[in-house]
Amino acid sequence: MPKILQVVGYATLGGAEKNTGLLTKAFARRGHTCHLISPPGDILPHYQALREFGVVHHTLDFRNRPWESLARIRALVREQRFDLIHSHLFLADIMVYFATLGLSGPRRISTIHSSILAQAQLTGQSRLRQRLLSSLAFRSFNRIFTVSESLRGESLDYFRLPPEKVVTTLNSLDFTGMTVDADKRTELAARYGLAAPGFKIGCVGHFFPYKSQVTLIRAVGLHLRDLKDIRIFLIGDGDEREHLQAEAEKHGLADRVCFTGLQEDMNEWYSLLDMFVHTSFAEALSRSILEAMFFGLPIVASDIPSSREIIASGETGLFFPSGDDLKLAESIRSIHGDRSKAAAMGARAKRFVLENCSMEATIDTLLAHSLPQRN
């Protein structure tokens, strides 16, 4: 049974970090000896909780103590003799690359979780540095995985990687963890007024410009003013919060748009919503869409390549052109006005996720393409 080291570069409450934790848990439950290295951060308690599954967790401060972190990773790799080292996100890729220079034995793989097109926050200099360092690391690794086929296309071009080295494995869900806690659900419903009559629309994600939650606010404020029962729940936080709040007030929606902040009890949230909207201009592959699909919610999403890999238009969801608030409003009205159609759409969406997005299938793909095949 291969011995595995997972290394993640950040510890915020993002999809990549969540996926890393779920993968590590799934490997451990399958019987693999697993270690996980992460920096300190918001999601640290979740990583530490993996110890109950036998995962050995290490906390290293990559940013503030890079040389110490490199030395400790190298020492751990030598001591434990891992068969596979799996890195996630830029800092982890670079740490693993430099820490294992000259070491023989462990095979090194990385998963690219983020769309390169969405990294608008990077300056020209930092973007170039990241591109050069990542390309260097990826060329030395045994395999690179991407969470969607569209991201594979981006990565091949951006990092100039040979096609045979890059494999797609869709973002996946741990179905055993997709349960609803009745007490938490009741508490959320009371705290945010979710038990009251109305049509509740959820939108999940950090408040960055490219996530474009403003499109949803404008869709309701400009084109759906007659549908007085609609309430919007923006689940997340970020630099755009004040701008989004101002936009809600501008359109007279201050009492109908709820800014929830970051939330951890997402299963309970999905179970309380009537519809899910995804407004991003770019995405590697939205985990929140998959989670909403699992809970049978009708989906309306911006028409971007990665979302077309998981949503069948008219069957499991509806698309609107990115940033087009009028077309988004038309899709919302369509679902709002035909609840039986919405329910059928949600049921088909759940079936897709169950058939195509299991954590077990992801692990099988990772191992099949990462380790030497034995006869």
Q: What is the CATH number of the domain that holds 327?
A: 3.40.50.2000
Q: Is the pLDDT of residue 148 over 80?
A: yes
Bridge partners of 320? 302
Amino acid at 298: P
Same structural domain, 141 and 186: no
Find out whether 9 and 41 touch, Cβ atoms under 8 Å: no
- pLDDT tens, position by position, 55-95: 999 999 999 999 999 999 999 999 999 999 999 999 999 99
Find out whether 66 and 94 touch, Cβ atoms under 8 Å: no
* DSSP per-residue string spanning 32-43: --EEEEE-SSTT
Same structural domain, 130 and 216: no
Mean pLDDT (whole number) for 330-345: 96
Same structural domain, 181 and 302: yes
Sheet holding 230-235, edge to edge: 257-261, 230-235, 199-204, 275-278, 299-302, 317-320
- pLDDT tens, position by position, 339-354: 999 999 999 999 999 9
Find out whether 55 and 24 touch, Cβ atoms under 8 Å: yes
Same structural domain, 242 and 306: yes
Same structural domain, 162 and 270: no
Same structural domain, 113 and 192: no
Mean pLDDT (whole number) for 46-63: 96
pLDDT on residue 264: 87
- pLDDT tens, position by position, 252-301: 999 999 999 989 899 999 999 999 999 999 999 999 999 999 999 999 99
pLDDT on residue 368: 94
Residue 22 resides in a domain? yes
φ and ψ of 86, to 5 deg = -115, 115
Same structural domain, 24 and 128: yes
Percent of the chain with pLDDT over 90: 88
Residue range of the domain that includes 260: 177-356
- pLDDT category at 120 given cuts 50, 70, 90 is low
Residue 53 resides in a domain? yes
Please provide the average confidence, as pLDDT, over all residues in the chain. 94
Find out whether 304 and 280 touch, Cβ atoms under 8 Å: yes
Q: Is the pLDDT of residue 11 over 90?
A: no
Same structural domain, 228 and 92: no
Token pair 């393409």 in the structure block, residue:
369
Same structural domain, 183 and 314: yes
pLDDT on residue 175: 94
Residue 217 resides in a domain? yes
Residue 237 resides in a domain? yes
Find out whether 212 and 322 touch, Cβ atoms under 8 Å: yes
- Cα–Cα nearest to 243, from 223, 257, 224, 227: 257
Same structural domain, 209 and 343: yes
- The enclosing H or E element of 301 equals strand 299-302
Q: Kindly calculate the radius of gyration of the chain based on its CA atoms and give it in whole angstroms.
A: 21
pLDDT on residue 14: 79
Rounded CA-CA distance 16/47 in Å is: 13
Percent of the chain with pLDDT over 70: 98
Rounded CA-CA distance 43/55 in Å is: 16
Count of structural domains within the chain: 2
**Strand residues in 132-274 grouped as ranges (E):** 143-146, 166-168, 199-204, 230-235, 257-261
- pLDDT category at 115 given cuts 50, 70, 90 is confident
- pLDDT category at 122 given cuts 50, 70, 90 is low
Same structural domain, 183 and 150: no
- pLDDT tens, position by position, 152-166: 999 999 999 999 999
Residue 251 resides in a domain? yes
Q: Which two tokens stand for residue 144?
A: 């690179």
Q: Is the pLDDT of residue 374 over 80?
A: no
Same structural domain, 97 and 196: no
Q: Is the pLDDT of residue 375 over 70?
A: no
Residue 375 resides in a domain? no
- pLDDT tens, position by position, 167-192: 999 889 999 999 999 999 999 999 99
What is the torsion angle, in degrees rounded to the nearest 10, for the CA atoms of residue 133, residue 137, residue 143 and residue 147?
Answer: -30
Q: How many residues does the chain have?
A: 375
In a 3-state reduction of DSSP, which class is residue 83?
A: coil
pLDDT on residue 127: 80
Q: Which two tokens stand for residue 337?
A: 């006005």
Residue 270 resides in a domain? yes
Q: What's the helix, strand, coil split of the chain in %, to 5?
A: 50, 15, 35
Residue 342 resides in a domain? yes
Rounded CA-CA distance 279/325 in Å is: 10
pLDDT on residue 372: 78
